[in-house]
Structure 1
Amino acid sequence: MNNNSNDSVKNVASRISVEQAEEWSEKFRNWHYYPEHVIPAVPEIEGVENVHMTDVPTVFQLPDDPLYYMSFLGYDGRGYQSFIADSEDLVNWRNIRLAMSYGPEGEFDFGGRVIGAYQYEDYDLKAPRILKKRDGLYYSLYLAFPRQGGYELPPGSQGIAASSDGIAWERVKEDPILSVFDEKCGNWEKDCIFLPWLVEHDGRFYNFYNAAKGKFEQMGLATSQDLYQWNRYTGNPILSNGEDGSFHEVFCSDAKVFWDEDHWSMFFFGVGRGGAHIMMAYSRDLEHWTIDPEPLYKSGGHPAGLDSQYAHKISIVWNPSNETFYMYYNAVGEKGRGIGLLTSKPL
């Protein structure tokens, strides 16, 4: 049997049916609402003014530290900066401080930096979100924009940052790791590259990222041996837009990938049917994915109107003390763009 035939057999064996995807999604349905944003659209940040939108929550933990940490972006009219808050109970977040600010003028990250694609010690869905050190440093991939003066001014790209304490982050590679100017940039991603998500598996790094051509966003994959040099997967995009009228007909964006018993589960958001919705896809090999066409959670569900416009960009963590999933998400609605919380059990 030739190599192409071997690949075909592997692809068939790794395929997951839509029916199986729907079955795996059942445990992620029926969420309970926290009544307010846990990080409001206008948070109080000492020494920082004018932040009036918050977005992209990502929860992490530090070794031998009982606190939980959450990074998120704050938009101040110029662009993006990354902030970090801490919590003892996963509900009350405090002590917000600047984690990574604007890059130097004229460089690819001058318009802002959004950390959150961390290297974790363990990518199991229920594992603690503890950051892993390599050569004495923690690492995160980050979203970057080149210009200031607006929200998501293209063309976005991605960089790599490191930190000695998990709080203050600095760029560690002069050039972007993924850019629309790369020789192998695909036609589907030629207009703007957006958020990364990092997975380490079997000695290899996987970068799941969404990117745009025109008004459409799809999901791509790049791989690396060292975090610094990345190769795009030849089968990109790995998640494509759905049919007209589907919940992901315009966007498949912002992957969050975890190992779940015997398969990989991807939380992402789809845009379609007039909203942004939290959705799921599943894989056995990190390359071939099956989308559950029915969202886990549709925008407009929150009784206080927090997500009447959008529900997207999640971060999920398991709390073993009460055996509950806490799912943070960007809830955009009647109280602005802030960080909301859904839980798998009532708190």
Structure 2
Amino acid sequence: MRRYWTIICLFFMAGAQGQHRDVSLERMQEVYEEVKTPFKYGLVIAPDSGRLADCPSVFKQGKSWYMTYIVFDGRGYETWLAKSSDLLQWTNLGRLLSFSDSTGSEWDVHQKAGYIALQDPKWGGSYKLNKFNGKYWMSYIGGKERGYETGVLSIGMANTSRDITKPHEWQRLPAPVLKAADADVRWWENKKLYKSSVIWDEKKTPVTRL
């Protein structure tokens, strides 16, 4: 699926820069045949009764696979970690971003929905997470209101220099890095901000703003 979405993204980038490139039906069929997923195995992560799981992010470390995913329990989102040797049988390990036990003054006290950042984007590659400034990184949706995606939702960044295969609280920046109230937001992001994906463009490819 990753290569398919890469082609779609490149198509829109080319359009934004005034370039037009046709992709043949034969090439699109080749991509589909490579990335299609005909086998369905059902639920691999099932939280306790009263909780819901969503938004898995899978990466590889050593010989094992790891998944970050978010859990909703009625109060808000937390981010958890699971481990697998075959991508089918998963063991829950613990939390990475938890609710804050405070008076609620923090901007993300009740919502911390995380998504891994800087993963090797190569199709069939290592699927490892890369470090920046000696740390692993994760973007996340944060908010201070209780409930299902209520109130102001912004995007924050968290990082860790510790073992990413062990559950522990990642360190969060004190303020969000992107907000719906920012001066340069577009119409589709001026209410709430949701899931984000952070990739490392080491070539610093120029992109024309849409």
Shorter-chain TM band:
0.7 to 0.9
Report the counterpart of residue 128 of structure 2 in structure 1.
Answer: 130
CA distance in 1, matches of 2:171, 2:182: 19
Report the counterpart of residue 177 of structure 1 in structure 2.
Answer: 177
Aligned pairs for 1:1-347 within 5 A: 11-13=18-20, 15-17=21-23, 19=25, 22-23=28-29, 24-29=31-36, 31-34=38-41, 36-42=42-48, 52-62=51-61, 65-103=62-100, 105-120=104-119, 122-148=120-146, 150-163=147-160, 164-166=162-164, 167-204=167-204, 234-235=209-210
Q: 1:89 to 1:112 in 2, by over 3 A?
A: same
| TM-score normalized with structure 2 length | 0.78
Tell me, what secondary structure is at the counterpart of 2:83?
strand
Q: Give the number of aligned pairs.
A: 191
Tell me, what secondary structure is at the counterpart of 2:53?
strand
Deviation at 1:124, TM superposition (A): 0.4
Look up the equivalent residue of 1:73 and give its one-letter code.
I
CA distance in 2, matches of 1:9, 1:74: 37
Deviation at 1:110, TM superposition (A): 1.6
Tell me, what secondary structure is at the counterpart of 1:99?
strand
Look up the equivalent residue of 1:234 and give its one-letter code.
R
Look up the equivalent residue of 1:38 and give its one-letter code.
V
Q: 1:8 to 1:118 in 2, by over 3 A?
A: closer
CA contact 2:95–2:169 (8 Å) conserved in 1 = no
CA distance in 2, matches of 1:31, 1:185: 39
CA contact 1:83–1:97 (8 Å) conserved in 2 = yes
CA distance in 2, matches of 1:30, 1:51: 30
Deviation at 1:90, TM superposition (A): 1.2
Structure 2 gaps, min length 5:
1-13
CA distance in 2, matches of 1:32, 1:143: 31
CA distance in 1, matches of 2:198, 2:92: 26
Look up the equivalent residue of 2:209 and give its one-letter code.
T
Report the counterpart of residue 8 of structure 2 in structure 1.
Answer: none
CA contact 1:198–1:205 (8 Å) conserved in 2 = no
Deviation at 1:154, TM superposition (A): 3.5
Look up the equivalent residue of 2:176 and give its one-letter code.
P
CA distance in 1, matches of 2:205, 2:96: 24
The structure that is helix-richer by fraction is 2
Q: 1:67 to 1:183 in 2, by over 3 A?
A: same
Tell me, what secondary structure is at the counterpart of 1:199?
coil
- State, as a whole percentage, how many aligned pairs show the same letter: 23
CA contact 1:141–1:160 (8 Å) conserved in 2 = yes
CA distance in 2, matches of 1:174, 1:20: 49
| TM-score normalized with structure 1 length | 0.49
CA distance in 1, matches of 2:153, 2:18: 32
Deviation at 1:123, TM superposition (A): 1.0
Look up the equivalent residue of 1:83 and give its one-letter code.
W
Tell me, what secondary structure is at the counterpart of 2:198?
strand
**Segments of 4+ in structure 1 off by > 3 A?**
7-10, 15-22, 203-206
Deviation at 1:96, TM superposition (A): 2.6
CA contact 2:74–2:148 (8 Å) conserved in 1 = yes
CA contact 2:117–2:138 (8 Å) conserved in 1 = yes
Deviation at 1:191, TM superposition (A): 1.1
Structure 1 gaps, min length 5:
1-6, 43-49, 207-222, 224-232, 236-347
Deviation at 1:168, TM superposition (A): 2.4
CA distance in 2, matches of 1:27, 1:72: 26
Tell me, what secondary structure is at the counterpart of 2:177?
coil
Deviation at 1:10, TM superposition (A): 5.2
CA distance in 2, matches of 1:93, 1:83: 12
The structure that is strand-richer by fraction is 1
CA distance in 2, matches of 1:174, 1:61: 29
